[in-house]
Chains A and B, each alone.
Chain A
Amino acid sequence: DAMVIQNPRYQVTQFGKPVTLSCSQTLNHNVMYWYQQKSSQAPKLLFHYYDKDFNNEADTPDNFQSRRPNTSFCFLDIRSPGLGDAAMYLCATSLKGGLETQYFGPGTRLLVL
């Protein structure tokens, strides 16, 4: 089945130690998104890629970066995680165009010690 895959499902890192979260998709969608969801809150968009074009939300901290080496994969890099970055990180994909449904992966729960 076509799907959005996130690895790992759970990630523990130390305060200040760089961490990378991975997302892959078999849907062949042009657009990939990263959302941050803190406990008991709604997901919040960090940035998205339209093909190779990176689009950052205005309030996304510089500590968060992303890479998309090809259509199938997208990475979220947190350069120096703080305790406040502990959250669920959700990857989503959609076809190009503003009218398409976003499909989400299972998420990665990040714990910062």
Chain B
Amino acid sequence: GAGVSQSPSNKVTEKGKDVELRCDPISGHTALYWYRQRLGQGLEFLIYFQGNSAPDKSGLPSDRFSAERTGESVSTLTIQRTQQEDSAVYLCASSLTSGGPTDTQYFGPGTRLTVL
């Protein structure tokens, strides 16, 4: 009964480099979400995957951000040409069913990204 896992737990990179963050959802969960949490702030929605449907990318802040998910398994969030304002904790969540409004989202521990 493993929960949502994310890797790496911490990532330090230099400005301008690309980074890739990974999320392993709970097995059988069809919906997967990425959020960003800047220091002292709430969570901002980035992108949502539901099964084989087209993802909801409406929260991605710029075209430097992209994400992929193969079926109902692992997802990767890629940030190209990182900027200092990208420094944040990136959280992944998954939920069991079709993303209904009362579904419980289960969160991973996050990846703390620091851009120097």
Whether chain B is bound by chain A comes out as: no
